[in-house]
Structure 1
Amino acid sequence: MSATSQTTIIPHSQEPLVTRNYPTVAELDGFVDKAQVAQKSWAKVPLTDRIAIAKKFSDELKALSNDFASELTMQIGRPISQGAGELRGTLERADYMISVAEAALADTPLTDTDKPGFRRYIKRVPLGVILVIAPWNYPFLTTVNSVLPGIIAGNAVLLKPSPQSPLAAERFALALTKAGVPADIIQVLHLSPELVKHTVEHPSVKFVSFTGSVAGGQAIEEAATASKSFKSVALELGGKDPAYVRPDADLDYTAGELVDGAMFNSGQSCCAVERIYVHESVFDAFVEKFVNITKGYKLGDPTLPETNLGPVISLASAERIRKQVEDAVKAGAKALIPSDLFPIAQAGTTYVAPQVLVNVDHSMDVMKEETFGPVVGIMKVSSDEEAIKLMNDSPYGLTASVWTNADKNADSQEAFYKFADELETGTVFLNRCDYLDPALPWNGVKDSGRGCSLSKLGYDQLTHLKSVHMKIKTA
């Protein structure tokens, strides 16, 4: 018998937080029908008015932010001290996507090549009803990427959040409706996997944006194909993001940044740094600095202000991460963080100790398969060429970072450009990591997915092109 509801479990206490009931298939179809009807009217609202409403959304989200951090902590386990950062990032992305909306969605005239007696231009037309399936790890940041520009572009949005973060989606939608978005234009749907499949296959749903696992993305792709309606699908999937530390990197700065890139949100970030390659000439010095910083983390109750490393999302996730570390050690890896530094990290809990592994290689899952936890493998290399080869030796390609003194050394700058050209990834960073600039497209290659959110190009997948070709003079 299929489940009729979902219950969110608090990661650190394993106690229930909230329960949400699933709709029936008939109710779900009714929600889609309402969205389709409302979208036809919403698309006729002038773009300037839709943009004005979007600006009010930012103000409304700020106004609803009193319980923002604590609510996030109870849903996903992130330390309460870090909750405000997600709100800042969400508002930053919202403000940028609003600022480029008018130019990105404007008609494109062909005046420079028009022939006498003709007028031609290209319109951007909303797709209709779109489905956004958002993950739990950054529920506001990932939601704003597609939902807000989707609505600005004139679409109706069905927002399906993770069962782990239903309150985030409801708060997001409330801010939109308080700003003036019609209720049927933004609907939060709590759905079972079977109902997700039904929604993806629904003929009135024209586009699906999914962020999650590779397996989940494959299921969405299969359902979209089964619908036989040629709908578009955007997929942001897994990552095994690499970093490379060149011989001239500022090791103090680099070690601190990479520890944060690996450990923030307990390593549960789409673009968390999961494997690091270090030139042999600085390997020992870098590892020592990296380990010392990691040892200073405070793992514990995420509701306490002094905690900077919380639990992972579930018992199953904790068990999987521990096994990946254990398997690597059995295969010859060396663990550099003593277990007694983090006594709360016991089997049967969601607390996973941060771990740094050396003597690793690409025969180990810890260097090949997504960890999504506070664990990183560090491997010695002898050259840039070896680093490029190993960084590309992955089924994933979301982000990669290179750490070198490029601002003071022309040779290092040229070396970075070689990495930028040859790395198989959606984003290449220099001397930073684990950050999404809303002015740049967010996308991945290989098993990290396809499609593009953020930047002015993010509006492309939320609209379709209509060519207008006018013959003015017929004589």
Structure 2
Amino acid sequence: MTEFTLIPASGAAVPAEPFTGRHLIDGLWKDSADGATFDRVSPSHGVLVSRSAKGGEAEVLAAIAAARRAFDAGDWSFSSGKSRSEILNRVADLIDRDRERIARIEVLESGKPIAQARGEIEGAADIWRYAAALARMAHGDSHNNLGPDMLGLVLKEPIGVAAIITPWNFPFLIVSQKLPFALAAGCTAVVKPSEMTPSTTVILFELLEEAGLPAGVANLVLGYGDPVGAVMTTHPDVDMVSFTGSTGVGKRIVAAASGTLKKVSLELGGKNPQVIFPDADLDAAADAIAFGIYFNAGECCNSGSRIIVHEDVAEALTDRIAVLSRKVPFGDPLSDATQVGAIISDEHLGKIDGYVREAQAAGAKVVIGGGVLAVPGLDGRFYAPTVVAGVTPDMAIAREEVFGPVLSVLTFKTEDEAIELANNAAYGLSAGVWSLDVHTCLNFARKVRAGTVWTNTWMDGFAELPFGGVKESGLGRELGRFGIEEYLELKTVQMRVARGRNNWVAG
């Protein structure tokens, strides 16, 4: 009898035939020129989910050329905000229509629970609608304070061809944090989804086509980072790269893009702290901490993977989290009851377990979990909900991104020590603080180095608010009105409006 809440195989039907994914280049669906394909096997059910065209240099060069032609022709880049907005809103409506289809294939490719996948698709549709609104509101400035003879204009123009590379953990949501903003700005794009979760992006491109997006404006190439991503980040006809993924790959993209001085926008890793002061509502904090570490099985850049708790309440809070960890339903992602699904791959499962074993060897205590879970009826990759206490700041589990359902517990005595521990990481994506004292919360929010700070909550999200990190968590911002600014370039126009000007050369 396990101490955890396991959801066995639900009996939900899995597809008899794999989903077939192809490239979309200049408005045409294509197989790879050499006929190469790659397969994706479900990490939760062990069945073949999808077979996709494996792009090579020929496909990515054709996609970049199509995007370049479409941008330079000007039909999209000079189109009205109203016309772009109408297409983006149609895409949102189509996403809502096909939500169940999109969610199901995402579950099978990624291992995440169906309820979570549905929520992500719903959230993605909302982002497309928000970007559609921005398409009509983005504009430049005028300066009529330069004297009687001059008028200054600051134009905001689309940057050009955007290369968009997305990860496997939120494949549909993250492409929806990038592509609609690029399109709203008037850019054209080449998109490469992760080779582990390509199919929902293929469906999105089907919907773009149905919504009436002109051929060549958005192009899709399936495949691996080498060669597809490598060409996208170095080709001179690409003006910008937007990437979400690991910090290590992000650094390589910056180096690759430097040869042509492309703009680079990066959303990378996180080792996100939550600081819990002794006056906090411990029950509310414990629930939010459980959500923050087990949501998407911890395979989330925003995962609340380390808590820094005052020593007076550390034991009480840890006990509460352990109780909740036993209640969180782990298991079949196709069951509506499941809240935590499978780990993306065997390799990643081993990496997660390695961090736990290393922490144990260094003197940390595994309060609960710390091993692979067997779910009845499934041939999947599941890792137990894990809480590791007695963690010290020098341990890898306290500093590095585990990207799994593993919580590290550190303790502090003073407010200054808590802030120092929170900032003691190479990352700076998100942070949280729990206290009933508003002054404590505001002081922490001002002093912590993070792109997002939550107070007395965790991982709420809104399309209106920018998202991104500092330090090694990335460059630039997504979402909010800043999301479209990433894809815009400024141009100054200075106009002499009075007749004549004072000659520089006397004549």
Shorter-chain TM-score tier:
over 0.9
**Out of 393, 400, 418, which is 2:443 matched to?**
418
Per the alignment, residue 101 of structure 1 pairs with 135
**Out of 469, 478, 491, which is 1:453 matched to?**
478
Q: Call closer, same or farther: CA 1:3–1:297 in 2, change over 3 Å.
A: farther
Per the alignment, residue 409 of structure 1 pairs with none
Task: Describe the SS at the equivalent of 2:383.
Answer: coil
Does structure 1 retain, via aligned residues, the 8 Å contact 2:373–2:382? Answer: no
**Out of 122, 141, 150, which is 1:88 matched to?**
122
Is residue 166 from structure 1 mapped to residue 198 from structure 2 by the alignment? yes
**Which whole-Å CA distance do the structure 1 matches of 2:393 and 2:370 have between them?**
25
- Deviation by residue 1:46-76 (Cα, 9 ceiling, x = unmatched): 1111112111111111122231221111010
Per the alignment, residue 137 of structure 1 pairs with 169
Query: How much is the aligned-residue C-alpha RMSD, in angstroms?
Result: 2.0
Per the alignment, residue 110 of structure 1 pairs with 143
- Deviation by residue 1:84-133 (Cα, 9 ceiling, x = unmatched): 11012212322323333333x2121113x142132211111111111100
Does structure 2 retain, via aligned residues, the 8 Å contact 1:318–1:349? Answer: no
* TM-score calculated relative to the size of structure 1: 0.93
| Shift in Å, 1:339 | 6.4
Is residue 467 from structure 1 mapped to residue 499 from structure 2 by the alignment? no
**Out of 313, 323, 335, which is 1:292 matched to?**
323
Q: Alignment length, in residue pairs?
A: 462
Per the alignment, residue 18 of structure 2 pairs with none
Per the alignment, residue 382 of structure 1 pairs with 413
Task: Describe the SS at the equivalent of 1:7.
Answer: strand
- Deviation by residue 1:130-173 (Cα, 9 ceiling, x = unmatched): 11001111112211111001001111111100011111111222
**Which whole-Å CA distance do the structure 2 matches of 1:25 and 1:284 have between them?**
56
Q: Call closer, same or farther: CA 1:88–1:262 in 2, change over 3 Å.
A: same
Structure 1 gaps, min length 5: 406-411
Q: How does 1:69-84 map to 2 (within 5 A)?
A: 69-84=103-118
Which letter maps to 1:268? E
Per the alignment, residue 80 of structure 2 pairs with 46
Q: How does 1:121-270 map to 2 (within 5 A)?
A: 121-192=153-224, 193-225=226-258, 228-270=259-301
Task: Describe the SS at the equivalent of 2:55.
Answer: coil
Does structure 2 retain, via aligned residues, the 8 Å contact 1:299–1:310? Answer: yes
Q: Call closer, same or farther: CA 1:339–1:462 in 2, change over 3 Å.
A: closer
Q: Which has more helix, going by share of residues?
A: 1
Does structure 2 retain, via aligned residues, the 8 Å contact 1:6–1:20? Answer: yes
Which letter maps to 1:468? V
Q: Call closer, same or farther: CA 1:229–1:258 in 2, change over 3 Å.
A: same
Task: Describe the SS at the equivalent of 2:99.
Answer: coil
* TM-score calculated relative to the size of structure 2: 0.87
Structure 2 gaps, min length 5: 1-33, 501-507
**Which whole-Å CA distance do the structure 1 matches of 2:451 and 2:130 have between them?**
20
Q: How does 1:423-438 map to 2 (within 5 A)?
A: 423-438=448-463
Percent identity over paired residues:
30
**Out of 12, 17, 29, which is 2:49 matched to?**
17
Q: How does 1:293-372 map to 2 (within 5 A)?
A: 293-337=324-368, 342-344=373-375, 350-372=381-403
**Which whole-Å CA distance do the structure 2 matches of 1:289 and 1:219 have between them?**
41
**Which whole-Å CA distance do the structure 2 matches of 1:201 and 1:390 have between them?**
38
- Deviation by residue 1:356-399 (Cα, 9 ceiling, x = unmatched): 01111112111111010000011221121111011100011100
Which letter maps to 1:146? K
**Which whole-Å CA distance do the structure 2 matches of 1:354 and 1:338 have between them?**
5
Does structure 2 retain, via aligned residues, the 8 Å contact 1:315–1:349? Answer: no
Does structure 2 retain, via aligned residues, the 8 Å contact 1:123–1:465? Answer: yes
Does structure 2 retain, via aligned residues, the 8 Å contact 1:295–1:341? Answer: no
